[in-house]
Amino acid sequence: MRVKTEPESVHIGSSLQKRILKVLSGFESNSANLIPTLQALQYTIGYLPKEAIVAAAEKLGVPVSHAYGVATFYHQFRLKPAGRHQVYLCFGTACHVKGASSVFNAFLKVAGMSEGEATSKDGRFTLNKVRCLGACSMAPIVKIDSNIYGRMNPSDIRKVSSKYR
Ligand code: FES
């Protein structure tokens, strides 16, 4: 017996659709739920694909343009899939004073990223600027996934980032 199969894209689409619908089922149709709904969608999917933003807007009765506006305004929301490793560069006062900017620039160079770009083109890193990771005495601090690196300088960045593929 021959089993009829669907193209891969249909499976991906329906799987994404199911996850979106499941998240949306937990929220009442109220525009006040926009941010928590987007947060829940991102938590479940890992980022906010166009389909999720449109579906959230429709469910909550807000214009799609407004939902997009919110998703692009807040740094917590990501419109593209995250990289394999999360990099947190601290720009708190202690780290700033101890040279966080030069560490940041060195990281951009090593990762082949431009300022303002969230994820490297090879999908290896997603960059997050943060304010104080609570280890000021070892400033400047870089955290990659769950590992914290202290007293970083620009020349350390290549060595440290090479551990993450
Ligand atoms: S300011 Fe960077 S760890 Fe506190």
Mutating to test ligand 1, I would choose from 136, 137, 143 the residue with most ligand atoms within 8 A of its C-beta, which is 136
Whole-number pLDDT of residue 12: 52
Q: What number does the ligand 1 atom closest to the CA of 140 have? A: 2
- CA distance readout (Å), 137 to 18, 93, 132, 145: 47, 11, 11, 20
Cα(156)–Cα(161) distance, integer angstroms: 9
Domain 85-161 superfamily per CATH: Glutaredoxin (3.40.30.10)
User: Binning pLDDT at 50, 70 and 90, where does residue 73 land?
Assistant: very high
CA distance 103 to 127: 13
CB 140 within 8 Å of CB 152:
yes
Kindly state the average pLDDT of the residues 73-92.
92
Measured between alpha carbons, how far apart are the two ends of the chain, in Å? 44
Per residue in 18-68, pLDDT (tens digit) is 999 999 999 999 999 999 999 999 999 989 999 999 999 999 999 999 999
Please write down the long-range contacts of 29-37, taking CB distance under 8 Å and 24 or more positions apart.
29/59, 29/60, 29/61, 30/60, 30/61, 31/60, 31/61, 31/62, 33/60, 34/60, 34/62, 34/66, 34/67, 34/70, 35/70, 35/74
CA of 51 to the centre of ligand 1 (A): 37
Q: Is 142 in the pocket of ligand 1 (CB under 6 A)?
A: no
Task: Tell me, in angstroms, the distance from the centre of ligand 1 to residue 151's CA.
Answer: 11
With a 6 Å cutoff on the Cβ, whether 139 touches ligand 1 is: yes
Ligand 1 centre to CA of 100 (Å) is 10
Q: Is the pTM of this model over 0.85?
A: no
Domain positions in the chain: 8-73, 85-161
| Ligand 1 in reach of 130 Cβ (< 6 A) | no
User: DSSP letter string over 73-120?
Assistant: HSTT--SSPPPSEEEEEE-SHHHHHTTHHHHHHHHHHHHT--TT--B-
94 lines ligand 1 (CB under 6 A): yes
Q: For 108-153, write each residue's pLDDT tens digit.
A: 999 999 998 889 999 999 999 999 999 999 999 999 999 999 999 9
